[in-house]
């Protein structure tokens, strides 16, 4: 009985650890998703840049509203080494592509078909953002407004 309990406890602990949001200070492991042209894009391709990972969806009003602020930050800091890596949890590729076009966002967009990455990271709501430094270390989660701008500036 002890062995069964230990096995169940160990399995639960391992699964819950995998299903947790990344913790501030940890290096984010590489992952690869498909972009708007159906080409693979990996997080590692942004190493050496400050990156904002942005989980969103075309049907999410707050996500679409936050794109206005993200556009301003992208325009201000992109030439200094800031990138936005938007990860859509949309089920409809057509809706996703239309939203990118409507919002006129010029940064890298990928789609998390089936939500595997969002589930692995335990993304419970959107928009949900993760700010990484140039070495892919997680610096902050869900910053917005002046706090996000100031943190980006300090990392560049």
- Catalytic positions are 60
Q: Cα(112)–Cα(91) distance, rounded to whole angstroms?
A: 9
Q: Cα(28)–Cα(96) distance, rounded to whole angstroms?
A: 25
- Locate 121 and state its tokens: 């990271």
Neighbours of 111 (CB within 10 A): 22
Query: What angle in degrees, to the nearest 10, is found between the helix axes of 61-77 and 145-155?
Result: 40
């Amino acid at each position: 009985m002890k062995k069964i309990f230990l096995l169940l406890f160990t399995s639960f602990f391992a699964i819950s650890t995998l299903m947790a949001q990344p913790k501030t200070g940890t290096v984010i492991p590489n992952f690869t998703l498909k972009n708007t042209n159906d080409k693979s894009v990996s997080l590692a391709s942004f190493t050496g840049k400050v990156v904002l990972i942005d989980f969103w969806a075309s049907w999410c009003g707050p996500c679409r509203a936050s794109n206005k602020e993200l556009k301003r930050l992208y325009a201000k800091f992109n030439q200094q080494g800031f990138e936005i890596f938007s990860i859509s949890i949309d089920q409809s590729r057509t809706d996703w592509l239309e939203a990118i076009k409507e919002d006129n966002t010029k940064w890298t967009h990928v789609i998390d078909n089936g939500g595997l990455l969002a589930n692995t990271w335990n993304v419970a709501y959107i928009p949900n953002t993760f700010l990484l430094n140039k070495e892919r270390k997680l610096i902050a989660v869900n910053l917005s407004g002046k706090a996000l701008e100031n943190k980006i500036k300090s990392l560049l």
